[in-house]
Structure 1
């Protein structure tokens, strides 16, 4: 069980927030919906927030059931199947541009914090012995030819061997997640790439991020992202991205305190 879970999420524009954070006493899930490129036909009558909400709901249902014998990979695969079933009769799920999302999730099981990372939403741990441990999936950064990527390249490499993997309409993508467990942890941060900009673009270390989450909280971390985006601008792409971060504190005073969404 986490002693405390706090979180914050902010949209990057006037568009609906395509991130989602859900948490319980012993688990945290953060999803980042993939914004569709202009003019792309997804083959789906639903938008990205719909996909993210259904996927998040299915994951929460599995985690609330509290079955530690079921792996996070198994839970994600089942959640993708449930989500697919919700729109299989109305949408072309074979379309490679069908809505999708990254997934970052953690679960405390008997003092070990399990994790699954699929796509570019990382998890960062504060071990009891000091330092940090980061779990990130950088396969999107390694596509052929380097950035900027074409729409055609991303379509071809999404959920394909040698490419990158996300949760959408391929249940087997769950088996491509980066999984493991960390023992003797004092805290864990789960975030989208809109917050990881602090490290990837603006010179923060992962230790800086953990210190800010632990000392000032998720809201302050997102304010720091927005300030740097305003003063220094983006390295690439949109000026402001949806930004979501959760912090799970591990301690003796067991309890649960939800944050702001």
Structure 2
């Protein structure tokens, strides 16, 4: 189990926050819902916050009672349950149906498991010093480079050679970046959305800087830091401010 889990989340605008963070004694889940583009028909009666809440609840319910199923299996079952909750009025074959990134960690007696699907990274603070970053950069490697045309993103979402997110296709779970680290080698775990990862991707922080701040000043401090930099230097692309979420779990030392 973790000795302590702390987290913070903040919306990027007056719109509802489409991030979600949930934690239990031995696990942390962070989701980042994909904001729907203006004028796009998702084919779904539900919005992104609905999808994020349903998926998060399904994940939490499973992680609370199941310590053995691999995280990809947990996610597959949660996506399947969320898809079933949509009802017959939703076109789940529409590639623009609501979706979310997923980042999870689970601390067991012997190992720390992780799963990343989409651009919400996990960073492990190692007992011997340094960090190990787990990310999924497939969205950054689409053909042609940014800014991507909306039709390209639509065509490459949850498709071979493209990028994968949690929506209505349970098989997306099998495309997650997964692994495990010896629990004795981990002193803490950070989980965040891309709204916090801007510190590294855009503003010159290292992941070691992020971990130091999470451990010392707490998750709220990294969000304040990214907001200050966004205000002072502006965004590299896209929204001036994005929903931002960070969680930090201190591991039991043995």
| Range into which the TM-score falls when normalised by the shorter chain | over 0.9
Q: Could you tell me whether the CA contact under 8 Å between 2:187 and 2:253 is conserved in 1?
A: no
CA distance in 2, matches of 1:46, 1:20: 17
Partner of 1:70: 69
Partner of 1:2: 2
Q: 2:152 matched to 1:153?
A: yes
Aligned-partner SS, 1:224:
helix
Alpha-carbon shift at residue 252 of structure 1 (Å): 4.8
CA distance in 2, matches of 1:157, 1:27: 31
TM-score normalised by the chain length of structure 2:
0.98
Q: Map Cα deviations across residues 109-166 of structure 1 (whole Å, 9 max, x no partner).
A: 1141100000000000011111000000000000010000111000000000000000
Aligned-partner SS, 1:3:
strand
Partner of 1:186: 187
Gap regions ≥5 residues in structure 2: none
Q: 2:220 matched to 1:243?
A: no
Q: Could you tell me whether the CA contact under 8 Å between 2:32 and 2:101 is conserved in 1?
A: yes
CA distance in 2, matches of 1:175, 1:68: 19
Alpha-carbon shift at residue 251 of structure 1 (Å): 2.5
Partner of 1:219: 220
Alpha-carbon shift at residue 68 of structure 1 (Å): 2.4
Partner of 2:14: 14
Aligned-partner SS, 2:2:
coil
Runs of 4+ more than 4 Å apart: none
CA distance in 1, matches of 2:46, 2:229: 33
CA distance in 2, matches of 1:229, 1:17: 18
Q: Map Cα deviations across residues 168-224 of structure 1 (whole Å, 9 max, x no partner).
A: 011000000000011220000000000000000000001000000000000111000
**Structure 2 matches for 1:107-122, cutoff 5 A?**
107-122=106-121
TM-score normalised by the chain length of structure 1:
0.95
Partner of 1:256: none
Report the RMSD for the aligned CA atoms in angstroms.
0.9
CA distance in 1, matches of 2:2, 2:91: 40
Aligned-partner SS, 2:220:
helix
Q: Map Cα deviations across residues 223-255 of structure 1 (whole Å, 9 max, x no partner).
A: 0010000000000000000000000001359xx
Q: 2:20 matched to 1:26?
A: no
CA distance in 1, matches of 2:211, 2:16: 28
Alpha-carbon shift at residue 3 of structure 1 (Å): 0.5
Aligned-partner SS, 2:62:
helix
CA distance in 1, matches of 2:248, 2:217: 11
**Structure 2 matches for 1:38-187, cutoff 5 A?**
38-65=38-65, 67-183=66-182, 184-187=185-188
Alpha-carbon shift at residue 53 of structure 1 (Å): 0.1
CA distance in 1, matches of 2:16, 2:73: 30
Q: How many residues align?
A: 252
Aligned-partner SS, 2:16:
coil
Alpha-carbon shift at residue 69 of structure 1 (Å): 2.0
Point out which structure has higher relative CO (alpha carbons under 8 A, 6+ apart): 1
